Structure 1
Amino acid sequence: MSKAFLFDMNGTMINDMPFHSVAWFDILNNDLNAGLTKAEVDKQMYGKNDELLVRVFGAGRFTQEEMDAISLKKEKRYQKAFLSHLKLIDGLDNFLRTTEAAQVKMAIGTAAIPINIDFVLDGLNIRHYFSTIVSANDVAESKPNPEVFLKCAALLDAKPEDCIVFEDAPKGVEAARNAGMKTVVINTVMHTKDEFEQYDNVIAFIDSYNELDVEKLLA
């Protein structure tokens, strides 16, 4: 057993959540006539894409095949808009190198589908840092269910209490707490600090990874 760092991806490794918001707003309102405000769209942006569609439209509105097609269309719109902005959050490149040098295992536990994981990891050439990747397709239940992080830990041969999760969203922090894991929260424009007050597993709030020291996190 060994210590491990588990990363959410969207909003945690790259600052792309506003672009997901725009893509979902476009799909839900202009394509599917949901009639939602931006705030209402943002409130639904967690978990798997098909789960979001069920929350908005109700079960049975779309077949799984239709939801898969809507999901793919949304991700292609997001990728096209975000591509020129694709970069790691400040300090993360050095943090990953330092973590690797310290022989700390790393995994990604995300609600993203493989097309988006490939977009980020291969677009930024960082796949080699992660021996384990758990996507939306690999779990039965999304965050705040702890399945994604517990699966990451098991695949890395790490105890939950020896894992630190890096997250940007309350549902992700809740999932980490449900898994018995501590969390570092990356501040973004999508969430405010007061949204995390109920969670006792948060050990730090950061604006960039330059604020973190790998050795201190492992102490």
Structure 2
Amino acid sequence: MIKTVIFDMDGVIVDTEPVHYYAYHKQFKELGIVVNDEMYASFTGFSTRNTFQKLKETFSLVPEVEHLIQRKRTIFNDAFDTKEDLYLLEGVEDLIKDLHQNGMQLILASSASKVTIDRVFTRFNLHPYFTHIVSGEDFPQSKPNPAIFLHAASLSVAPKENCIVIEDSTNGIKAANSAGIFCIGYNSEHSKMQDLSLADMKINHFSELNFDKISQIESYIR
């Protein structure tokens, strides 16, 4: 029986991707580099640090990674704070509340920085529902490396066989697979060019899930 649900954030709980897209591409223009859509999509699930490490290597960028990170966060935060049309994805708030009210443990495992996670969670009052928040900035490698999900599962009230992950990205699903955790792939309209084929289960809308359906998923060993 499932005891813990591990949520990704971007593309699963909230769509901050347009803000990230704006911030990254404004910075790309400042740096004088062209990042096509295919390359940009490959960074989905990456931490900001790993994204800029890859870009620095690819384009031989002069600024240090830390400087690039701070500049991107400044652009993102300014845009986030002024963006009024930012909402939780349809149906996810009802699912979170249903799971919490029925005693399901909820953990966030997001590649986003702690600052960004806190901005989202404060804006939408999500802190009361989650027992732990795990940020990708604490790990040397981003998804598809399984470290973030293995750590999240270690915080669960139950073994990882009694956990599930909800993800929308190719890299996130690969990370869950490598961690040996059952993965529900969310076919988010906001997450472009993502391959959900490796997910153990797929959904198109959060109305397809509730406490009863999730809790009845059999204990899982990959």
Q: For residues 125 and 190 of structure 2, what CA distance do their matches in structure 1 show? A: 26
What is the CA-CA distance between 1:87 and the residue it aligns to?
1.7
Number of the residue aligned with 2:22: 22
* Structure 1 residues 5 and 133, CA gap change in structure 2 (3 angstroms): same
SS of residue paired to 1:90: coil
Note the residue ranges of structure 2 that are not aligned, 5 or more in a row.
217-222
Q: In structure 2, what is the equivalent of residue 46 of structure 1?
A: 45
How far apart in 2 are the matches of 1:129 and 1:175? 24
Match for 1:214 among 183, 207, 211?
211
In the alignment, is the contact (CA less than 8 A) between 1:7 and 1:167 conserved in 2? yes
Percent identity of equivalent pairs: 25
Corresponding position of 1:174: 174
After TM superposition, give the deviation of residue 67 of structure 1 in Å: 2.5
Q: 1:189 matched to which residue of 2?
A: 190
User: What is the total number of aligned residue pairs between the two structures?
Assistant: 212
1:75 equivalenced with 2:73 (yes/no): yes
In the alignment, the residues of structure 1 paired with residue 149 and residue 95 of structure 2 have an alpha-carbon distance, to the nearest angstrom, of 20
User: Do 1:167 and 1:184's aligned partners in 2 also have CA atoms closer than 8 Å?
Assistant: yes
Superposed displacement of residue 216, structure 1? 1.1
1:34 is aligned to 2:33: yes
Moved over 4 A (4+): 59-63
- 1:204 is matched with 202
CA offset at residue 25 of structure 1? 1.5
- Unpaired stretches in structure 1, ≥5 consecutive residues: none
Larger deviation, residues 122-131 vs 183-192? 183-192
Residues 62-117 of structure 1, C-alpha deviations (whole Å, 9 max, x = no match): 56xx4233223323323443431222111111111111111111100011111101
| 1:4-153 correspondence runs (5 A) | 4-28=4-28, 30-58=29-57, 61=61, 66-82=64-80, 83-153=83-153
Paired AA for residue 36 in structure 2: T
Q: CA RMSD in A?
A: 2.2
Which structure is richer in relative contact order (CA contacts within 8 A, separation 6 or more)? 2
- String of CA shifts for 1:31-61, please: whole Å, max 9, x gaps: 1112223443333343121211121221884
Cα deviation code 1:122-144 (max 9, x no counterpart): 01111111111110232232111
Q: Do the aligned residues in 2 keep the contact of 1:184 with 1:202 (CA within 8 Å)?
A: yes
Residue type of the alignment partner of 1:41: Y
Kept in 2: contact 1:160–1:181 (CA 8 A): yes
The alignment's TM-score, normalised by the length of structure 2, stands at: 0.85
